[in-house]
Structure 1
């Protein structure tokens, strides 16, 4: 083999070594990635801890507890963290003694695991129960209330309530009772983890809250 041939051979070996090193590094990084969800672990937590209120698959049986099936995983993780007392001795952004206990017992990784599991489940559809208020609820959802500065709900949560990961939750098919309770909590200050929603809720009447919450339940 001449000198040029030897040089090319050395170069090929070097390139292969670099590629192998990069591949091994990537595999190691993926294996060590703490944010990668473990769905099996998430299912175990859901079954053992969450099922009594939210259902084993995230489809709760009544409006006292939200449906979590199909909800954006990033949103669920944020809410779990907001149930914890905040740094510096500050109170939780969402005041709920029951959820505070559960959330505080979960590691950040297990929050990711259980959120990913619920997000992967299929939500059961809901329906509006009050035909008389559907036009009002639909109007608020699609157009807001212009004279009070209430934006259309669909602008953030989507025309069919699918939401946007991280930023805005999926509301399609959610229990009307739960949606109304959360809007009221934004009104009275017991839920403080979303300033725009606090301002919007303050501009809605109780009847408007009930109407839009019932409309949300029927979205699909």
Structure 2
């Protein structure tokens, strides 16, 4: 058993080394088309486009690769990554990860319920606390490619939860988010989405 565990850890380590290291400076020149929806620094001003600024580099790279391969379907990005290399994607991820997220503000009438779900989940439905994977202040766990949600647009978060709940987005590890979102009510999704918009 120990030999199996050691070989697995070595394998994971070697896989990690094989990935291209991102160069933020090189990435800036490759993000000209990204700016139309996500803004030049990754702080999109439109609620249905996610803020990429300050997002974990590993998470961003996974999403870019998933979008390119079709594992994650984003109609607005169809074909945009087709001619980009692994290095290009790594550079773009590094660039946006190096930027600072502009924080938003939560709707006051949603904070109490949103905070409760964020910190404790919804025990009677088997919904885990969001802090388990996204951290107390919403900064995510980049080593595990769990995204930062602090300051993210509420509109985008709510839309994403709905897509997970309906199975329209399927690139979550071990169906974690699909399982969680499918147990949440529309009001719970709205409240926690508003809460993370102002979380920092």
Task: Compute the TM-score of the two structures, normalised by the length of structure 1.
Answer: 0.79
Whether 2:51 is the aligned partner of 1:60: answer no
Match for residue 152 of structure 2? 174
Correspondences of 1:93-104 after superposition (within 5 Å) = 93-104=71-82
Number of matched pairs: 180
Whether 2:109 is the aligned partner of 1:132: answer yes
Match for residue 30 of structure 2? 45
Correspondences of 1:155-166 after superposition (within 5 Å) = 155-165=132-142, 166=144
Asked if the contact 2:56/2:145 (under 8 Å) is kept, the reply is: no
For residue 37 of structure 1, report the CA deviation from its aligned partner: 2.1
Show structure 2 runs of 5+ residues with no match: 1-17
For residue 96 of structure 1, report the CA deviation from its aligned partner: 1.4
Task: Compute the TM-score of the two structures, normalised by the length of structure 2.
Answer: 0.86
Moved more, 93-102 or 168-177: 93-102
User: After superposition, what is the alpha-carbon deviation per residue over 1:81-127, rounded to whole angstroms, capped at 9, x for unaligned?
Assistant: 11123xxxxxx222212223122232111000010000001111111
Match for residue 100 of structure 2? 122
- SS of the aligned residue for 1:204 comes to coil
Root-mean-square deviation (CA, aligned residues, Å) is 1.3
Asked if the contact 1:94/1:190 (under 8 Å) is kept, the reply is: no
Asked if the contact 2:104/2:153 (under 8 Å) is kept, the reply is: yes
Match for residue 150 of structure 1? 127
Whether 2:90 is the aligned partner of 1:78: answer no
User: After superposition, what is the alpha-carbon deviation per residue over 1:176-216, rounded to whole angstroms, capped at 9, x for unaligned?
Assistant: 00000100010111100111000000000011000000000
Flag the structure with larger Rg. Answer: 1
For residue 78 of structure 1, report the CA deviation from its aligned partner: 0.3
Show structure 1 runs of 5+ residues with no match: 1-32, 86-91
Structure in which a larger fraction of residues adopt helix? 1
Q: Which has the higher contact order (CA 8 A, sep 6+)?
A: 2
Alpha-carbon distance between aligned partners in 2 of 1:97 and 1:176, rounded to the nearest angstrom: 20
Whether 2:184 is the aligned partner of 1:204: answer yes
